[in-house]
């Protein structure tokens, strides 16, 4: 064999060895929680994972136990059986994982279309149908790792983009309606919506929204406009106070959950019925320390919002608050709020 060929082969082998070393090192850093109610299957999974170099933080046989273990030690990824003992399923836990931005891969012996459709809505990082081979498991985990890293990078870039634009907006002086329209323009590319509702409690309360009618076009919908469009008079409280969320809690409702929210709170129902919305994301704010405000994003898609959107909303919440404090000034010295005049 000629020297050049020997050097090429040696370099290729060295490169492969370095790659394998990196993968093994990374696996040692990753913590995986197994949520599986079948002891034999759970233990087999644990053996395969430890053999491959992963850390297994534990085995949970129910949703409640999994939640306790996640609170004790945050995993890098969760292997999640869809059907578990008790009233809650893996799909129920998936909502918690998505909100916490924890990647998860489904395990299931049941691959019927209905189950797959429900699982798909939770946006898992992978799906393994039992029985599966060790190679299938490891390849799925590698793909999940790649997707998770790509997702984190994307979320960071989106967060940076939104925060930069909001800070620039807060540093400028604009008419209230124009300021709110700018917020809509900033949020739309990364937290998409078809209708954005601004609601402020207290003196000079505000309920006004923007309907997306084009790529970057928004129609102003004040209380008077809403009454004309919907042919109803509304005096609904903001969704956060009537919806039972806390001041700091960001929440979303898709599909059936959104239908329930519409039945419980008439403003959601009114927006849904008037503009044919099918999901929502609510961002509560506290202006000037005490004044309650909500930004509620509605979409015509029934699966529009995910844990990624909650993550983004949480990380830009402070910048949104500062923009809105400038748009909705603090009460004057006599205790009454300064008027907020709006027009299309």
Average pLDDT of the chain to the nearest whole number: 82
Is there a single domain that holds both residue 8 and residue 129? yes
> What was the pLDDT predicted at 339?
39
Q: For residue 66, what are the CA distances in angstroms to 63, 92, 102, 141, 278?
A: 5, 11, 13, 19, 30
Is there a single domain that holds both residue 239 and residue 309? yes
Question: For 120-129, 235-244, 296-305, which range has the lowest pLDDT when averaged over its residues?
Answer: 235-244
Is there a single domain that holds both residue 177 and residue 323? yes
Please give the distance of CA 83 from its chain centroid, rounded to a whole number.
24
> What was the pLDDT predicted at 211?
96
Question: Helix, strand, or coil here: 259?
Answer: helix
Is there a single domain that holds both residue 109 and residue 189? no
Gap between the Cα atoms of 311 and 222, Å rounded: 29
Instruction: Please say if the pLDDT value at position 337 is more than 70.
Output: no
> What was the pLDDT predicted at 246?
46
Instruction: Please say if the pLDDT value at position 289 is more than 50.
Output: yes
Instruction: Please say if the pLDDT value at position 8 is more than 70.
Output: no
Q: What is the pLDDT of residues 18-32, one digit of tens each?
A: 555 545 655 667 899
Gap between the Cα atoms of 57 and 49, Å rounded: 11
Gap between the Cα atoms of 165 and 158, Å rounded: 11
Q: For residue 99, what are the CA distances in angstroms to 125, 283, 305, 331?
A: 14, 14, 10, 35
The dihedral sign for the CA sequence 194, 240, 103, 97: negative
Domain total for the chain? 2
Is residue 340 in some structural domain? no
Is there a single domain that holds both residue 124 and residue 33? yes
Is residue 343 in some structural domain? no
Quickly state the pLDDT bin for 87 (edges 50, 70, 90): confident
Is there a single domain that holds both residue 215 and residue 103? no
Is residue 57 in some structural domain? yes
The dihedral sign for the CA sequence 26, 30, 36, 41: positive
Instruction: Please say if the pLDDT value at position 163 is more than 90.
Output: yes
Is there a single domain that holds both residue 204 and residue 313? yes
Quickly state the pLDDT bin for 7 (edges 50, 70, 90): very low
> What was the pLDDT predicted at 242?
40
> What was the pLDDT predicted at 146?
79
Q: Is 204 left (phi over 0), alpha (psi -120 to 50) or beta?
A: left
Determine the average pLDDT of the residues in 247-266: 86
Gap between the Cα atoms of 199 and 296, Å rounded: 8
Find the CATH number of the domain harbouring 113. Answer: 3.40.50.2300
61 or 238: which leads in pLDDT? 61
Domain of residue 138 covers 3-148
Is there a single domain that holds both residue 253 and residue 291? yes
Q: Which helix (H) or strand (E) holds 208?
A: strand 206-214
Is residue 157 in some structural domain? no
Tell which residue, 188, 184, 127, 124, has the closest CA to residue 151.
124
Find the CATH number of the domain harbouring 293. Answer: 3.30.450.40
Which among 148, 165, 193 is the end of a domain? 148
Quickly state the pLDDT bin for 331 (edges 50, 70, 90): low
Is there a single domain that holds both residue 126 and residue 177? no
Is there a single domain that holds both residue 239 and residue 144? no
Cis, bond preceding 131 (omega within 30 deg of 0): yes
Instruction: Please say if the pLDDT value at position 321 is more than 90.
Output: yes
Determine the average pLDDT of the residues in 30-37: 93
Contacts of 26 (CB under 8 A, 6+ apart): 145
Is residue 314 in some structural domain? yes
Is residue 344 in some structural domain? no
Is there a single domain that holds both residue 112 and residue 237? no
Determine the average pLDDT of the residues in 268-292: 92
Q: Is 15 left (phi over 0), alpha (psi -120 to 50) or beta?
A: alpha
Is residue 135 in some structural domain? yes
Tell which residue, 193, 225, 230, has the closest CA to residue 208.
225
Is there a single domain that holds both residue 96 and residue 185? no
Which among 101, 131, 148 is the end of a domain? 148
Is residue 125 in some structural domain? yes
By percentage, how much of the chain surpasses pLDDT 70?
A: 81
Q: What is the pLDDT of residues 40-59, one digit of tens each?
A: 999 999 999 999 999 999 99
């Amino acid at each position: 064999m000629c020297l050049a060929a020997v050097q090429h082969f040696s370099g290729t082998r060295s490169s492969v060895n370095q790659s394998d070393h990196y993968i093994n090192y990374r696996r040692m850093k990753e913590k995986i929680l197994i949520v599986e109610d079948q002891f034999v299957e759970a233990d087999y999974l644990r053996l395969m994972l430890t053999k491959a170099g992963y850390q297994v933080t534990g085995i949970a046989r129910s949703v409640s136990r999994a939640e306790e273990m996640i609170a004790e030690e945050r995993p890098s990824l969760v292997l999640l059986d869809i059907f578990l003992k008790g009233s809650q399923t893996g799909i129920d836990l998936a909502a918690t994982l998505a909100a916490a931005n924890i990647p998860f891969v489904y395990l299931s012996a049941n691959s019927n279309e209905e189950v797959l459709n429900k699982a798909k809505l939770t946006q898992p990082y992978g799906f393994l149908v039992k029985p599966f081979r060790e190679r299938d498991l490891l390849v799925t985990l590698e793909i999940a790792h790649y997707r998770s890293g790509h997702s984190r990078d994307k979320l960071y870039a989106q967060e940076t983009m939104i925060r930069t634009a909001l800070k620039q907006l807060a540093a400028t002086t604009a008419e209230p309606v124009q300021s709110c329209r700018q917020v809509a323009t900033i949020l739309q590319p990364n937290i998409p919506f078809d209708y954005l509702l601004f609601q402020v409690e207290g003196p000079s309360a505000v309920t006004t929204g923007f309907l997306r009618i084009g790529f970057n076009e928004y129609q102003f919908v004040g209380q008077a406009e809403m009454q004309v469009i919907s042919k109803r008079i509304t005096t609904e409280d903001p969704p956060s106070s009537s919806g039972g969320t806390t001041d700091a809690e960001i929440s979303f409702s898709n599909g059936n959950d959104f239908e329930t929210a519409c039945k419980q709170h008439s403003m959601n129902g009114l927006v849904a019925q008037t503009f044919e919305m099918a999901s929502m994301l609510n961002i509560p704010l506290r202006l000037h320390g005490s004044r309650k405000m909500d930004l509620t994003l509605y979409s015509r898609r029934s699966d529009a919002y995910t844990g990624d959107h909650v993550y983004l909303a949480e990380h830009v919440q402070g910048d949104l608050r500062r923009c809105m404090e400038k748009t909705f000034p603090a009460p004057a010295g006599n205790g009454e709020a300064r008027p907020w005049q709006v027009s299309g």
